[in-house]
Amino acid sequence: MSDVEPSTASRKPRSDAWRSAITVVQEVEPAFVPAGAHAMTIVVEFPPGDPGTPPHRHSGPAFGYVLAGEMVFELEGEPARVVRPGEAFWEPGGDVIHYQDGNNRDDIPVRFTVTMLCEPGKPMLTLVDEDELVRRQGRRASRTD
C-alpha cells in the first residue's frame, strides 16, 4: 500500500479550462535551426536606463517575451522598436547582428525572457567588434532619433 495520497485535483472532475488557457503570442518559422542544437531559456533584467548588451549575435534563433518594463529591440536591417510587457520578439540568429536589447525607460527596470536554440560547442552570445560594425554599417536600418 502506498503512503502517497492522490491530490485533490486528481479527485475532481476534469476541467475544460485548458481549452482556453493558451494564448499564442508569437508564431514564426525560423530559417534554420543548428543541427544538434540545445535549448537555453534565460531571464534578463536591466536596471532603469541601461543600454543592455553590446551589439552581438546568437548561433541560432532566439525567441523572447517582455515580462515588465520596455525593451528597445533592434536587429540588423530592421529599425529599432519598443517591445512592451506581453509582447514577443524573435531573431533568426546566425549572421545577424542584434544591436539593441536595452531598457527604454529610465524610471523602471526591464525584464524579459529568451529561449535560444544554441549551436553545440559555440557560446550562446558573441559580441561584435567595432571593425565589423563599421564594415556592416550599411546593413543597419536608418534611425529616426
| CATH code, 121 | 2.60.120.10
Domain membership of residue 20 (yes or no) is no
Structural domain tally of the chain?
Answer: 1
pLDDT of residue 131: 95
SS3 of 34-79: the string is CCCCEEEEEEEEECCCCCCCCCEECCCCEEEEEEECCEEEEECCCC
Kindly report, residue by residue over 96-136, the tens digit of the pLDDT.
Answer: 999 999 999 999 999 999 999 999 999 999 999 999 999 99
Domain membership of residue 128 (yes or no) is yes
Using alpha carbons only, give the angle 137, 139, 144 rounded to the nearest 5 degrees.
80
Give the domain range for residue 98.
36-137
Domain membership of residue 98 (yes or no) is yes
Domain membership of residue 5 (yes or no) is no
Predicted confidence band of residue 85 (pLDDT cuts 50, 70, 90)? very high
**Region of poorest pLDDT, from 17-31, 54-68, 76-90, 123-137:** 17-31
Q: Rounded to 10 degrees, what is the CA torsion of 86, 43, 27, 96?
A: 120
pLDDT of residue 4: 67
Kindly report, residue by residue over 1-47, the tens digit of the pLDDT.
Answer: 556 666 666 677 888 888 888 888 999 888 888 899 999 999 999 99
Half-sphere exposure of 115 (CA within 13 A, CB side): 8
